[in-house]
Amino acid sequence: MSADNTVALVRNDLPAVRRPVLLLTATTLTVCILALDLRQSLDGAVAVLYIAVVLVVAPLGGRYVIASGIATGLLTTAAFLIGHLSHPTNGAYSRFVVSLVAIGITTLLSLRDRSSRTTLGEQARILELSHDTVIIRSNEDVILYWNVGAELLYGWARHEALGKKSSELLRCKYDDLDVDECLRTDGHWSGEVVRTRRDGTRLVLASRWLLRRDPEGRPVGVIESSSDLTARLRSDTERLASERRYRAIFDSAGFAMWESDWSQTVGTVLHAAPPGDLRPWLMSHPEIVGPAIQSGVIRHANQAAADLFGVRHREELAGANLCGRYLESGAGAFSTILAALADGETSVEAETRLKTFHGRTVDIVLRVTLLPEGRNWSHVLVMAFDVTERNEARARFEQASAELAHAGRVSMLGQLAASIAHEVNQPLTAIINYAKSATRWVDREEPRLDEVEKCLSSIVSNGTRAAEVIGRVRSLARKAEPQAEDVDLLDLIDGALSITRREAAAQAVQVVWERPVAPVPKVRADRVQIQQVLVNLIINGIQAMASSTRSARELCVYVKVLPAGDVAVHVRDCGTGFPDGQGTMIFEPFFTTKSDGMGMGLSICRTIIEAGGGTIWAQNNEGAGATVAFSLPACTVLRGVAATHI
């Protein structure tokens, strides 16, 4: 097969310009043959030439072949009838029949040839579509056919490759003897060959060779198909290296890691879950989700996991499950994990507690990742971080903070002792006076019970006032665990102002409380601690004005609802302002400018506010004095509350 033939085979379609030429030739030929046939002298002998017309239109397709066969048959018949009907001879009849048979056979053969060409053409097209390279070579190794796959892989265009020797063009390397032997005996060979692309890069190919033979069975060349192994080999190598890296990281990680198979257990739970949004259902059924996750089978674990669970070798964990290892108290974590993973997150973190095989309780943060091959929950990577020490340290810190806050309150109350005593003394004095005067009204000859009643009611109200002051002081002095509750900041400000009223009066400070009329959202905090913060800020403001030489002494308290929904309380004074202007130093522990100060008040305030998720800040005012403020997140956002000073 020549190179041109092969390419022509592939390009089976007839060029558009050839169609009219063939049709014109066929028509001219038909007219000439008909004219000759009608000449009586030739006696019908030329009709057989119509087969040339059928052969001319054959490349145009089956329809043209059939049409030309029928048309020439009809013309032959018509010419016979015109010329011989009146004086038929035996010779004319036989020539007529022979002509018709010849036309019929030619038509049928043309149709068959056409159909096998179509089939061959389609097969050739398939070769073009193949991503593999297909090359046909002669016995002399000359390239006769070169498909698109070969163009793409080797970088040589078809016209550049055809006619070249493949061993020279592609600098092929393979075991010649082995290949030749195989081809000779089996007629085919397959194996790896190394070739060079046009740009000089080396390729490793998986190649299949087939011996081509002529009709007599003599070898005439080779047809070969090859696919590039280079990329596959490279990606195999990379995958292997990546697997080794993963294994090394897995084994040597300093924290516990294990890979589990949840496909049986979790898959069943998810299958049984009602249709619709899974998350609420999973969150409300920890008693189903927890056991399902815990009974997932561990595929393998690292040594750190073995250490965490208290087993000697990590192999002991392989094939085991963790049923009964987790504590009930952390069961909700599994619902959180499963809900997030079922929602499409690939990685999720949750805290829980487990009991080791030695019975030790460990607080752990689980980080669960659905590995790419584990979409059916078959490969779940679990990392566990032991946070027991961190939690214990946090608990110790919280306790120390609470104790410090308590000490701060007691010390603050010590500073306020004189004012508080006076605050309580006032109603007590009033009570005594009202009691004396009631006695006098009773001792009269005609006791005035109406006056006695007035005195008694004044005694009650003053007694209540004194009890309120003592109650507030007691609650501040109380030592109890901080307890978060929904707190109305306005009430707390009322209380703090009442405790500090006397101190303000003693320093001739006028207190302005811009109590908002609009509702203010409650905040979630510990009531006593926030009260402590408020009293601290107010006392600091009063003291800053006491040490100032300015005549204006006004302390203003106001509230703002911030855009994010937080509630902020501001305490503005006309005092000395901060030494550094920014008010950052003042929150540091032991920073004080007062001779009898401890410098712990604002540091404690910051700890309290930040523990409640809020912020505290301070700045000098544009005119005189400073403003110290804090904000806390609101429990609920009230509609229509403007984010402004209210």
Question: Measured between alpha carbons, how far is residue 580 from residues 15, 540, 577 in Å?
Answer: 92, 16, 9
Q: Do the beta carbons of residue 212 and residue 222 sit within 8 Å?
A: yes
Strand partners, 628: 571, 618
Distance separating alpha carbons of residues 630 and 646, to the nearest angstrom = 16
Closest CA relative to residue 95, chosen from 108, 77, 107, 72? 77
Structure tokens, 90: 């035996």
Kindly state the greatest CA–CA separation across the chain.
179
Distance separating alpha carbons of residues 75 and 57, to the nearest angstrom = 16
Phi/psi at 165 (nearest 5 deg)? Answer: -85, 130
Distance separating alpha carbons of residues 120 and 134, to the nearest angstrom = 15
Distance separating alpha carbons of residues 187 and 281, to the nearest angstrom = 67
What is the end-to-end Cα distance of the chain in Å, rounded? 97
Q: Is the dihedral of CA 229, 234, 239, 240 positive or negative?
A: positive
Distance separating alpha carbons of residues 596 and 288, to the nearest angstrom = 62
Q: Which residue do the tokens 């390239």 mark?
A: 143
Closest CA relative to residue 546, chosen from 507, 579, 576? 507
3-state helix, strand, coil in the chain (%, to 5): 55, 20, 25
Least gap, CB of 406 to ligand ADP (angstroms): 16
DSSP reduced 3-state for 349? strand
Phi/psi at 127 (nearest 5 deg)? Answer: -60, -35
Instruction: Annotate 509-555 with three-state secondary structure.
Output: CEEEECCCCCCCCCEEEEHHHHHHHHHHHHHHHHHHHHCCCCCCCEE
Least gap, CB of 631 to ligand ADP (angstroms): 17
Q: Do the beta carbons of residue 221 and residue 166 sit within 8 Å?
A: no
Continuous H helices in 344-416: 388-415
Helix (H) or strand (E) holding 556: strand 554-561
Distance separating alpha carbons of residues 72 and 171, to the nearest angstrom = 57
Strand partners, 381: 259, 369
Least gap, CB of 535 to ligand ADP (angstroms): 11
Continuous H helices in 39-147: 51-57, 62-84, 90-129
Distance separating alpha carbons of residues 302 and 247, to the nearest angstrom = 10
Q: Which is nearer to ligand ADP, 124 or 533 (CB)?
A: 533
Q: Which is nearer to ligand ADP, 180 or 580 (CB)?
A: 580
Q: Which is nearer to ligand ADP, 330 or 625 (CB)?
A: 625
Q: Which residue do the tokens 């584990």 mark?
A: 374
Least gap, CB of 478 to ligand ADP (angstroms): 21
Residue 265 has a CB neighbour count (10 Å cut-off) of 20
Least gap, CB of 410 to ligand ADP (angstroms): 14
Q: Which residue do the tokens 């608990």 mark?
A: 395
Question: Measured between alpha carbons, how far is residue 231 from residues 153, 200, 205, 234 in Å?
Answer: 12, 16, 10, 5
Distance separating alpha carbons of residues 607 and 635, to the nearest angstrom = 20
Q: Do the beta carbons of residue 110 and residue 102 sit within 8 Å?
A: no
Which residues in this chain contact ligand ADP in the complex, by CB under 6 A? 536, 540-541, 544, 573, 575-578, 586, 591-594, 597-603, 626, 628
Q: Do the beta carbons of residue 434 and residue 462 sit within 8 Å?
A: yes
Strand partners, 57: none
Structure tokens, 297: 């089978």
